[in-house]
Amino acid sequence: MRRDRLFLATTLTAIFTADLYFILLPKLRSMGRGSRQFCLCGPNNLTLPGQEGLATPPLSNWTSESPLVGAITDPTDGGSKLDRLFSHPLYNIQTPVLGPEERLLQAEQLMEYYRRKVSRWERHMKLYSEAAAISNITVTEHEVTFDPNASWLKFHLGINRYALYSRDDPTIPQLLKDMEIMTVVSADYTQDEKALKGSCDCTQVVKPSGHHLKLALKMRNFAKAMFKPMRQERDDETPEDFFYFIDFQRHNAEIAAFHLDRILDFRRVPPVAGRLVNITREVLLVTHNEDLRSVFFTSPANNTCFFAKCLYVCKTEYAVCGGPDLLEGSLSAYLPGLSIAPRISIPNPWIRSYTFNGREEWEVNPFYCDTIKQMYPYNSGNRLLNIIDMSIFDFLIGNMDRHHYEIFTKFGDEGFLLHLDNARGFGKHSQDELSILAPLSQCCISFVCRSTLLRLQLLAQPGFRLSDVMRESLEGDPLQPILTEPHLLALDRRLQKILKVIQRCVRRLGENEVITKDFVKATARPQTATDRRKSR
């Protein structure tokens, strides 16, 4: 009898606790928020081009297969789906006029910064040429000219509080073309590669440096891009026994991630273009770094190869090789230097354990998000919403390696998150790693922006299918095909899973508790496909 009473008391306690957590507590939180109507998912006063039904779309009785907004229809007239997507009102949301404080850099400030860099470069080259002549080292010298109207400078000047570039900025297509053809005048290790030198420990570091190889290339007009060489064939999947922290870095993943970020309208990935690089002429013969020159060798197949120089891996089996000199790679446009545009790197609250057996708190505590919501800077503003956007992006590309994120210090806590270093995405098309969506699934209350959700629903429709617009967008890259069909189809499958997670939250807690409003009013006409093509 006592056991029955104890069991009944335990059951009633569990039911009361569940009611308190899932029903009463969300209502109390909602009351505590009072009359809050909008939040800063993006700018403070987002406005949507006039189209009936879009500003306040109904969310009741929606499924992941049906349109979220009645005004959205599937185009059936053929033609470019990508053009129609970017002409849609959801991709023409108006932002406030940008003042000096909303822009990362001012033109005078940036020009003065690069005038000093040009002077330093000229002094450096004069001294290096004299030293090379004495040492009998052959260095290819190129004429270098600074162009204040260069596309990469316009890209830097276009960075603002809300994104790295505007939706219709003609600078971005031009920058992609420039990176494909610009003459390389200098090659070097990146700063983080240099930081590893002398501090590598075979007993502590798991991932081989050869899986992590990247170079900084400087162009004739002082543009700078990060080169990541081809490490894996398009149709190769990451081996099942690989941990995410020893996975290859894939050049095509960097390219595809930029295009996906643009399609999702986040615009937080710097422009990336594919390029076939002659590693003898465009790396070995132009580098001024003796450490980099020393890791080049000729393979038994008579191909030119090189590897990363670090104490724990200086092995030819981790090298990358040309055929015999040409090597595929991705070129990512550098952001403005830290001395002129400081950034800070912040650990991801949903960071993974970088050990073989460890687990983080979020992996074992389903209520972990409640703790995060009480912590600065996630207890107010946009930061947590941006983390969730980032998790959606990472789930779509299959990236488990988001251990940190970066923000520009000028924009403070309300700045957007930079989606950098995406080369460990697109490794497995046959597996969907649902744990990447932990921020989304654990933070159900006020956790997704209406604009983000509407775009996801739009991309789930046949007329704007995500795989189709990605395929079309990637066709413009010189290294196409960038992704194989299984990877493209995996995007559609993962998108449906994201929408189902949101749907479950809406059904459990209600639309008002889950969806954060970020539309204010309709004031402008949508951009047409013709307008879009003119801006390219």
**Alpha helix (H) ranges present in 335-413?**
361-364, 368-373, 383-397
424: amino acid identity, one letter: R
Residue 406 marked ligand-binding: yes
C-alpha 162/C-alpha 30 separation (Å) is 27
Residue 326 · residue 278 · CB < 8 Å: yes
Strand 272-278 to strand 224-229: parallel, antiparallel, or no bridges (unpaired)? Answer: unpaired
Residue 423 marked ligand-binding: no
β-sheet bridge partners, residue 333 = 225
Lookup: tokens for 291: 């450490």
Residue 114 marked ligand-binding: no
Residue 254 marked ligand-binding: no
Q: Kindly report each contact of residues 119-127 with a partner whose C-beta sits within 8 Å and lies 24 or more positions away, as own/partner.
A: 121/222, 124/288
Residue in 90, 418, 402, 438 with CA at minimum distance from that of residue 264: 90
401 is catalytic: yes
Helix (H, G, I), strand (E, B) or coil at 65: coil
C-alpha 295/C-alpha 126 separation (Å) is 25
Strand 448-449 to strand 515-516: parallel, antiparallel, or no bridges (unpaired)? Answer: parallel
Residue 421 marked ligand-binding: yes
Residue 332 marked ligand-binding: yes
Q: Give CA separation, 261 vs 183, 398, 422, 535, in Å.
A: 27, 14, 11, 19
Q: Please give the DSSP secondary-structure letter assigned to residue 517.
A: P
Helix (H, G, I), strand (E, B) or coil at 459: helix
Instruction: Name the active-site residue from 83, 188, 247, 401.
Output: 401
Residue 333 marked ligand-binding: yes
C-alpha 47/C-alpha 38 separation (Å) is 12
Give the alpha-carbon dihedral of 158, 159, 161, 164, to 10 degrees: 120
| Residues annotated in a binding site for Mn(2+) | 421
| Residues annotated in a binding site | 228, 332-335, 406, 421
| Residues annotated in a binding site for ATP | 228, 332-335, 406, 421
Catalytic residues, by residue number, are: 401
